[in-house]
Amino acid sequence: MRDKLLSLESEALEELAALRGSAGSEEVLAVKTRYLGRKGPLASLMKDIAGLPEGERREAGRAANEAKERIDGEVRKLLEGLSKARQGEKLLTEKIDVTLPGRPAPTAVIGKPHPVTRITDEIEDIFISLGFEVAEGPEVETDYYNFEALNIPKDHPAREMQDTFYTGGDACLRTHTSPVQIRVMERRKPPLMVIAPGTVYRRDSDVTHTPMFHQIEGFMVDEGITFGDLKGVLTHFLHTLFGESTTVRFRPSFFPFTEPSAEVDIQCVICGGKGGGGEGGGGCRVCKDTGWLEILGCGMIHPEVFKAVDYDAEKYTGFAFGLGIERIAMLLTGIDDIRLFFENDLRFLKQF
């Protein structure tokens, strides 16, 4: 029995040795099944061992187990070697060069700030650099904040149904950012240097008007603020935004919440202020041949407004201004139809 077991073992180990280095795991496992499986030669020797006399059986049983373990051990070693080799191969073929530069994403999928957002940020930065802080107010306002506290009388045309979106009762969509002046001044005492950007709504629609647009309100209140401060701040702002050589003009105007009031024009950036004598000799569509472009409304805050927020108008003075962001964006980008900003046509937006 012992010889039979030894020759079975050495035959199996020889076969396994022949597989080393060239075979795959299936072939190794096939040899294992052939020798150690239920129908293999070791199983049949085990059956013979069961029939041996008592004294020989134990000895032969141990020898059979040892032979089985040695064959099994060799199979395990071969399989481990194969798995290591496979891993090494994988590391080589699947290696990643982390120093390769990344692939740029196609430009169509990269989001960029909308031109109106970009110009709002630019304008905010100019005022922040002068020491102004940014405030916000609600888009749905009450009659009191949008009109009453701003000294806009009951019979003012801005209050009419055809100019304002009323949302029921006393509420309306704010028609300008000026109510933020009231909300800030109600809460705080001077000195104040505040800008308030935001969305406003009017029943308006043509090439230079949209029902929803953006304004930036600004105001400065303290003891001794003069019209000179207003001119200085706004001239600096317009020179920074449109260039130092831009000519600025303050023109008398009227707003119920400022006195005196003015509108500010800059010399037309398209025809250079030449009006009809612009490039090519034709008329200038943008300034309609006047040579000037209206940019914003402004003035010294009306004493009635100070009364509404409980400020002493004898002690404090201040200026305020409000500008339309889309109008400025049109001038800076050369777009001559304001509605393009809100159509979200990618062909338009991709130009910026």
Among 151, 164, 210, 267, binds ligand FA5 (CB under 6 A): 210
The yes or no reply on residue 72 touching ligand FA5 (CB under 6 A) is no
Q: How far apart are CA 193 and CA 183, in angstroms?
A: 14
Q: One-letter amino acid identity for 143?
A: D
Among 147, 292, 321, 341, binds ligand FA5 (CB under 6 A): 321
Please tell me what DSSP assigns to residue 336. -
Residue facing ligand FA5 at closest CB distance = 324
Q: Is the CB of 195 or the CB of 323 nearer to ligand FA5?
A: 323
Among 213, 242, 292, 341, binds ligand FA5 (CB under 6 A): 213
The yes or no reply on residue 35 touching ligand FA5 (CB under 6 A) is no
Q: Which of residues 323-342 bind ligand FA5 (CB under 6 A)?
A: 323-324, 326-327, 338
Nearest to 132 by CA among 24, 236, 32: 236
The first and second tokens of residue 103, run together, are: 């692939």
Q: Is the CB of 13 or the CB of 258 nearer to ligand FA5?
A: 258
Q: Which residue has the tokens 């308030």?
A: 196
Q: Is the CB of 204 or the CB of 229 nearer to ligand FA5?
A: 204
Q: Which residue has the tokens 């405030």?
A: 135
Alpha helices for the chain (secondary structure H): 2-19, 25-36, 41-50, 54-93, 115-129, 143-146, 179-187, 227-242, 303-308, 325-333, 346-349
Stretch that binds ligand FA5, among 29-37, 99-107, 127-135, 206-214 (CB under 6 A): 206-214
Q: Tell me phi and psi for residue 85, to 5 degrees.
A: -60, -40
Q: Which residue has the tokens 């199979």?
A: 75
Q: How far apart are CA 348 and CA 351, in angstroms?
A: 6
The yes or no reply on residue 164 touching ligand FA5 (CB under 6 A) is no
The yes or no reply on residue 183 touching ligand FA5 (CB under 6 A) is no
The answer to whether 5 and 44 are in contact (CB under 8 A) is no
Length of the chain measured in residues: 352
Q: Is the CB of 271 or the CB of 296 nearer to ligand FA5?
A: 296
The yes or no reply on residue 19 touching ligand FA5 (CB under 6 A) is no
Q: Where do contacts with ligand FA5 occur on this chain (CB under 6 A)? A: 176, 178, 202, 204, 209-210, 213, 215, 217, 255, 258, 294, 296-299, 320-324, 326-327, 338
